[in-house]
Amino acid sequence: MSNSTDAAGGWFTLSLVNAGLAQGKGRSGLNWWFVSLLLGPIATLLIVLWSPLPKKSV
């Protein structure tokens, strides 16, 4: 595999991990997946640093 293919695969994998992290903090996984495709590691940093959303009471 070429380096660009490896990098693209890593970037895509990171976006999936970020979507899971975002869902765990009560945020939209799909929205964060799109953001992560554009921002990559910066999106990871934002997800990790921002506090979780409060749970909605029913």
Look at residue 42 and tell me if it is in a domain: yes
Look at residue 28 and tell me if it is in a domain: yes
pLDDT at 25: 94
Overall number of domains in the chain: 1
pLDDT at 24: 93
Look at residue 26 and tell me if it is in a domain: yes
CA–CA gap between residue 6 and residue 22 (Å, rounded): 24
Alpha helices in the chain (DSSP H): 3-24, 29-39, 41-49
Q: Which residues of the chain have pLDDT under 70?
A: 1
**What count of residues does the chain have?**
58
Look at residue 15 and tell me if it is in a domain: yes
Look at residue 30 and tell me if it is in a domain: yes
Note the maximum CA span of the chain.
Answer: 51
Are the C-beta atoms of 14 and 6 separated by less than 8 Å?
no
Range of the domain at 44: 3-49
pLDDT at 55: 82
Look at residue 57 and tell me if it is in a domain: no
DSSP-assigned letter for residue 1: -
**What is the rounded average pLDDT for all residues in the chain?**
92
Look at residue 54 and tell me if it is in a domain: no
Q: pTM to 2 decimals?
A: 0.84
Look at residue 34 and tell me if it is in a domain: yes
